Amino acid sequence: MKHRILTWRGAVKSFRVSLSALVFAVGLTGCHGGGSGCFFCEPLAATLGGTLTGLVGSRLTLQNNSAPLGQFNGPAANGTGIAFGVANFNTSYDVTVGTQPTNPSQTCVVANGTGTISGNSDITNIAVTCTTNPPRFVYVANGGSDNISGYTVDAASGTLAAIAGSPFAAGNLPVAIAVDPTGSYAYVANQAEATISAFTIDRTSGALTAVGGSPFPSGPAPTSAAIDPSSSFVYVTSGNAGTVAVYAIGAGGALRAVAGSPFAAGALPSSVTVSPLDDYAYVANQSDGTVSIFGINSDGSLTAASGSPVAAGTGPRAVAIDPSGQYVYVANASSNSLSAYGTNPGPLTALSASPYPTGNSPSSVAVDPLDNFVYVADQGSNEMSGYSLGAGGALTALAGSPFAAGGGPSAAAVDPAGNFLYVANAVSGNVSVFAIEAGTGALSAVSGSPYAAGTLPAAIAISD
């Protein structure tokens, strides 16, 4: 045994194996700090660790002296005694945030992140604390008046006030709007003219300004739009063509179709969403009652997943994924139901109690960023169905559900902090704002609600 260990150590020296490979090969627990169980091993690196609190979003990355450490996703990553990464003994360390989490947008800060590793001691007092960014602006695409209503948000009360210059001109029949996770750009799908209007967002006032080259051509009859968590790509479904197109976001927010775009989906794709982990895209196909599943490649292009598509209800209109990336929900307009799936095992597995009953003609589904509640806009019955999200993604109707909305609620979104629900009402031409009761998820209209919008508001998006 001794001869084998010495030979292994010589090979390591000869081939200059990386530090990270060495750490995993010998095991930090067995070889660290002179611990028992590995007499001939030498301590290789110290653990940089401590506490992580408040994380709700996904894709938080940390770095040490600008070198990547690791990625952390969702509330399950929080805790004490967290190992953020490793570093050489007797070196200086400087742990900072590399990428802030999204879905919801959060700001994380590092305390006790700098110092020098003395001897072979671990660092255990680094503290990473995350807070959710409050909502700042709400945007509504008005399909009948060909414009975008913009509002500032009072983060404490949820109330809305029109942004100076609102409404902002869009293309012909805007039916979808998406805001990138950085809050820098908004993209609007104009169905009648097959274009995408691109806007920069003034981070102070919320005003929209057309991007140079906008509008950009889309497939025929675009129906929905989504942006990936890294703010790199825009995904747009085309109802008439049965495809989903992918555009790279370039300098200044300009769009460029990626190689191979568009990609075949099902019949009349009506909605697209992207996993918070940026690994899959899901498309609801209204005419054939299915959900297409795509793996996302590094260049944003799509590859159909094994087992895709999967069956949904009749006339699926909207698809959403929970912040943890574990559950997908599909609103079936013609069968008045909500299909629920787990993503592990994948690509999608229907939950045992799925589908769940909804009101009449559900057209939109929104998942609370805190992963507690799911809300469905029932366009035909002018109400919102609410559910608590339990273990395994199972849903239970909230006490008091359904809740009265405006005329023809067409789209819904929950603010990043999970305090308010915003609903665009297509028939009554306004926006309802509801406070979400902590713990129960019950909805109550805020003072001043509903707020005037344009004609036939069809989509809604929130920016921090």
Token pair belonging to 236 = 């747009």
Please tell me whether residues 112 and 158 are part of one structural domain. no
Note the Cα 379 to chain centre separation in Å. Answer: 24
Please tell me whether residues 81 and 61 are part of one structural domain. yes
% of the chain beyond a pLDDT of 90: 83
Domain end, chosen from 78, 98, 131, is at: 131
Q: pLDDT of 187-242, one tens digit each?
A: 999 999 999 999 999 999 999 999 999 999 999 999 999 999 999 999 999 999 99
Residue 344 banded pLDDT, cuts 50, 70, 90? confident
Please tell me whether residues 118 and 206 are part of one structural domain. no
What value does the mean pLDDT take over residues 104-109?
Answer: 94
The predicted structure's pLDDT at residue 43: 52
Q: How far is CA 50 from CA 67, 128, 130, 240, in A?
A: 18, 8, 14, 53
Residues in the chain: 464
Q: Would you give the DSSP letter of residue 31?
A: H
Domain end, chosen from 131, 161, 176, is at: 131
The predicted structure's pLDDT at residue 220: 96
Query: Is the predicted pLDDT of residue 388 greater than 60, yes or no?
Result: yes
Please tell me whether residues 127 and 217 are part of one structural domain. no
The predicted structure's pLDDT at residue 120: 80
Q: Is the pTM value of this prediction over 0.75?
A: yes
Q: pLDDT of 118-151, one tens digit each?
A: 878 899 999 999 999 999 999 999 999 999 999 9
- Degrees, nearest 5: CA angle 137-139-143: 175
The predicted structure's pLDDT at residue 277: 87
Please tell me whether residues 285 and 320 are part of one structural domain. yes
Please tell me whether residues 110 and 189 are part of one structural domain. no
Mean pLDDT of the chain, nearest integer: 90
Please tell me whether residues 88 and 166 are part of one structural domain. no
Alpha helices in 97-186 (DSSP H): none
Within 10 angstroms of residue 23's Cβ, the number of other Cβ atoms is: 17
Token pair belonging to 277 = 């982990």
Q: pLDDT of 248-263, one tens digit each?
A: 999 999 999 999 999 9
Alpha helices in 104-168 (DSSP H): none
What value does the mean pLDDT take over residues 359-367?
Answer: 97
Q: pLDDT of 37-60, one tens digit each?
A: 444 455 578 999 999 999 999 999
Token pair belonging to 117 = 């590793």
Domain of residue 418, CATH code: 2.130.10.10
Please tell me whether residues 199 and 86 are part of one structural domain. no
The predicted structure's pLDDT at residue 37: 43
What value does the mean pLDDT take over residues 404-418?
Answer: 96
Is residue 313 within 8 A of residue 358, CB to CB? The reply is no
Domain end, chosen from 78, 113, 131, is at: 131
Please tell me whether residues 428 and 320 are part of one structural domain. yes
Query: Is the predicted pLDDT of residue 322 greater than 50, yes or no?
Result: yes
Residue 449 banded pLDDT, cuts 50, 70, 90? very high
Please tell me whether residues 67 and 196 are part of one structural domain. no
Query: Is the predicted pLDDT of residue 369 greater than 60, yes or no?
Result: yes
Is residue 188 within 8 A of residue 216, CB to CB? The reply is no
Residue 8 banded pLDDT, cuts 50, 70, 90? very low
The predicted structure's pLDDT at residue 36: 39
User: If we measure between CA atoms, which residue out of 89, 87, 97 comes closest to residue 59?
Assistant: 97
> Which domain, by its residues, includes 420?
134-463
To which residue do tokens 């300009």 refer? 254
End-to-end CA distance of the chain, in Å? 60
Q: Which amino acid is at 202?
A: D
Number of structural domains (the chain) is: 2
Please tell me whether residues 125 and 140 are part of one structural domain. no
Q: Encode 89-107: b = buried (16+ Cβ within 10 Å), e = exposed.
A: eeeebebbbbebbbbbbbe
Q: Which residues contact 300 (CB under 8 A, 6 or more apart)?
A: 228, 232, 233, 246, 248, 258
Please tell me whether residues 182 and 35 are part of one structural domain. no
Q: Would you give the DSSP letter of residue 158?
A: -
